[in-house]
Chain A
Amino acid sequence: MTNSGIPVREGVWARWRGLVDPATLAAFACILVLLFAGSLYSQSFLSPEYLLQQLKVASFLGIIATGMMIVILLGQIDLSAPWAIAVGGMMAASASAWGPAGPWIAIPFGVACGVALGLVNGIGVAYLRIPSMIVTLAVNAVAQGLMVVHTGGFSPRDSASPAMRFIATGDVVFGLPNALIVWAVIGGGATILLTRTTFGRAVYAIGNRERAAYLSGVDPQRVVLIAFALSGALSAFAGVLLAGYASKAAQAMGDPYLLPAIAAVVLGGASILGGRGNYLGTVAGVILVTLLQSILSVMQIPEAGRQIAYGLVIIVMLLFYGRGAAIRG
């Protein structure tokens, strides 16, 4: 398991092996097992409508997990995702009520707010050298505080603009949901960014050993700053879409997405210690988590049983392929 997610260019076969690592394959295999188990319960689990609906729901988690993955590849973590999502959704919704230009600036403004939160995270982690777990936690608390003041003091508009609704719920091409297309575009961008650019290589290098990356001429602080800004932007953008999907932005809308996002990245084979993982794995992880949640809720298992099954399945899958190396002299 020395795969770094960066393709090795030695013939076609080696290249494929470089792209698809065992963890990614295992995650896709788990998806098939889940679908098979679901189809024993009800045939409708295999219908194209159901699968397309699941992919649409997965898009939101997928966009959040994209940002989370870049940060995890650095060996950091972004716990500010829940309120970055809420900030994105709520600020976009209230911006859409600002005069005639409102609907135009709604989405960029929501994303820009996410970038601002991400920059604070990045400055704290990269330049002040505070552990990311605690900086992002504090920024999450600040973002929550800002939104409480915002909704309480100014009673802003909370319904989504038509554009937000269109991107989140509409479909333009061959009945494919727009949200899925957006995720595909972001995912394609992330793959190119991680495998074909100096920035992406720097991300993997820093995740493996920051000191060595610095000595090789990478500016780790700038890369970390940009990565956190990206993560904030993607979380906020997912918030914009979620607000469009529910046609309303709400305070706690981001809370159910933090742990699934981390779980999806890790189930996709990325190391939580950084430096290892590829985007295809994250895609598999996102679909896996979404399917698992959906199947458990369709089977009408009470919430308690769902939580237990969710935790157990993640542990079993991790024991299956996410184990670390044993310490040996």
Chain B
Amino acid sequence: MREWRFWLAENRSTLVAFTIFIVMFWIYVANHPAGFTANVVQTAANKGVLLALVAMAQTMVVLTAGIDLSVGMIFVLCNCLASQLMAGDAWHTGVGLVLVLAAGAACGAVNGLLVIVGRLQPIVATIASGAIYFGLALWLRPDPGGADNFNSDFADLFTGKLFGKIPASLAALAAVALVVWVPFSRSAIGRTAYAVGSSELSAYMSGAPVRAAKLVVYTLAGLLAALGGVFLTFLTYSGEASAGNGGNYTLFSIAAVVLGGVSLFGGSGSAIGAIFGALAFRAIGDLLFVFDIEPLWQPLFQGVVLLASVAIGATRLIGVRNRLDLFG
């Protein structure tokens, strides 16, 4: 009867993220000297997809009211790994891709086990495991570089254009969302992940598979971060164990998740929202180029926009009738 209302209520945060993205991207394209061309979209998409994949990874864990501060480091580790393994002919590249993704998933699973079996707080467990993953990346690639016979044709397949119009990276991102997110969110495990985020005790008491859901969530986060790392390798043909990159992607993924309407307290939001949050975050960063602002002011502008956009979330306080409700 009023199903569209429920649908609207359920997806409101995703729609808000989508709107923010459309507005930001429209401002960007409208002011871009080249206008709305396939090349402009392709460049923006390639940068956005990197963060979108890491943001999806972060969403998985945040849904269960956890946080993964090692996603950026898994991303960097898999970038280094991919730059070495994805070389040679199609067969070797394929095996390399599988190995890299498996490594990412394994890193995620380790985080999951630390949280489930080790009963450590996600925030501290992933800070420590992130240091280990970064150490491994540094061990693999003490200096930035790539394999001599890196399969760049395969890489270009994912960073070019489909039919000369659509960015292949966006298509790949949509495929990942369809293959990973849609089945996950519709499964019992996915429902449990949301339930754990709302109240772990209630989920446990209802007999939901709490531990399995948490393990799946952390493993998928590792896998998605690995996909991001592979994608970075596609773009640069090389790997770099950069602590700055790892830290930035972790922090930006949290920002993207919040912009995308995923609650840091768990239990609400979607990876689709996080994707638009990530794309919007990137579009905000790119606005400076088109407005010709001095590069010097870029970090400040980005920070102020970030602060302002998270402060928008405070508007919900207007609806609070009882002061006690503030202190949930």
Contacts and interface: CB of A to CB of B under 8 A. Distances in A.
Interface of B is mostly: helix
Contact of A138 (B124, B129, B301, B307): B307
Nearest to A214: B327
B119 to A, nearest CB: 4
Given A128-B317, A322-B120, A146 B300 contact: yes
Contacts of A240: none
Contacts of A140: 303
Interface stretch (A41-49, A100-108, A229-237, A258-266): A258-266
Interface stretch (B20-28, B36-44, B135-143, B223-231): B135-143
Interface in B93-138: 114, 118-121, 123-125, 127-132, 134-138
B34 interface: no
A153 B300 CA distance: 13
Interface of A is mostly: helix
B293 to A, nearest CB: 11
A162 interface: no
A138 B297 contact: no
B185 interface: no
B299 interface: yes
Interface in B144-202: 200-201
A323 interface: yes
Interface string A239-255: 00000000000000001
A139 B307 contact: yes
Contact of A129 (B67, B118, B303, B314): B314
Contacts of A149: 296-297, 300
A291 B2 CA distance: 63
Given A259-B131, A272-B121, A133 B297 contact: no
B327 A137 contact: no
A313 to B, nearest CB: 8
Interface string A208-243: 001101110000110000000000000000000000
Contact of B131 (A133, A135, A152, A310): A310
A324 B116 CA distance: 10
A145 B136 contact: no
B306 interface: yes
B326 interface: yes
Interface residues of B, number: 56
Contact of A263 (B127, B138, B299): B127
A273 interface: yes
B127 A259 contact: yes
A138 B302 CA distance: 9
B49 interface: no
Interface string A285-329: 000000000000000001111111111101100110011111101
A124 interface: yes
B217 to A, nearest CB: 16
A134 B258 contact: yes
B139 A323 contact: no
